[in-house]
Amino acid sequence: MKYMTKEWYETMQKTGFHLLLNVSEEAEMFSEEYFERLYRMKENEYLQLQEEVSKVKFEDIFPEEFNFVPLSGESLEPAELEEAKRHYFEIREQARLNYLNRPAFDPEQEKVKFREKLEFKIQHLEKMLPQEILQKVADIRVLALDYASDEVKKALTEYSESNRKAIEATQKAYWEEYKKIFKDEEPSFISNFKFHDCKVVSCLQKGEDTVITLDNTGGFTNIKEIILKNCIIQKLDAPLEGAWWLYDEIYKTDEGYEIHVLLEKKELIDFIVTVTDVEYE
């Protein structure tokens, strides 16, 4: 990736630290009593929410009837509507199985989960925040419970907003280059090249082509197979099977196109290929 790099993606994860924060004067100094009081309050809120969620009926989330609500100006051909309906019921059936297999609400188990979530968030904050902000935090546990001093919230807001602007500037720079490259005519495959949040099931070589099969359940496409014609792999950090498709960039070459894809499995993966064309199944 030239623009939406691994570093760019990691910066994207640092844009929302301030969004849920409540300002509290008590967070200005370390206090075990304040933390315990805050912990009990947040734990009770969490337990109430989980109990409410446990009472939600499956049909309220996934109705038995498929109802397509078109966006403004959008319409689907009968075949597309039928495919959307089929896709809905595939998702619904998997969700139904998950719903039936979910454990009953158990307050004690949920308390354990709440503690684990808090410990994970503490580790996340310690890893992601710069030292100059961490040094201003009196108690990282309190920050993980979404409470901070006014000074810390201002610092986190400035840090998050700075990262957000950097992310948006990079995206804008790529699209400006894209428009220059394809100002005369975009690739014919580009309108369907929308695989964000799809999961790679397999990536196989078939003759001169590379065929990528997708699980598109969580994505924004009905396409399940991408055929990269006359594909030459320029870079592949790790096998793609099981990786989630995040972002992509497309460039023109003398023989066709250079496609860059950023994916995520255990780590971020760069996948770069040159192709003469892209087809779908």
| Rounded mean pLDDT for each run of 10 residues along the chain, 281 residues in total | 96 95 97 98 97 90 81 68 82 87 92 98 97 98 98 98 97 96 91 96 97 91 95 97 97 96 96 98 88
Closest CA to 216 of 195, 202, 191: 195
Q: List the one residue out of 193, 222, 212 whose CA is nearest residue 77.
A: 222
- The Cα 15–Cα 163 span in angstroms is 6
| Cα 204-207-209 angle, rounded to 5 deg | 60
Tell me what pLDDT residue 79 has.
81
pLDDT of residue 64: 86
Residue-range domain boundaries for the chain: 25-148, 190-280
| DSSP string covering 190-211 | GGG---TT-EEEEEEEETTEEE
Parallel/antiparallel/unpaired status of strands 244-252 and 268-275: unpaired
Task: Give the pLDDT score at 27.
Answer: 98
The number of beta carbons lying within 10 Å of the beta carbon of residue 144 is 21
Consecutive H or E run containing 45 = helix 32-54
Going from the C-alpha of 205 to that of each of 18, 50, 208, 231, 233, the distances in angstroms are: 46, 46, 7, 9, 11
C-alpha span between 89 and 197 (Å, rounded): 19
**pTM of this structure:** 0.82
- Length of the chain in residues, anyone? 281
Asked if residue 138 lies in contact with residue 3, where contact means CB atoms within 8 angstroms, the answer is: no
Residue type, 12: M
Can you say how many angstroms the Cα of residue 32 is from the centroid of all Cα atoms in its chain? Answer: 35
Q: What is the pLDDT of residue 76?
A: 67
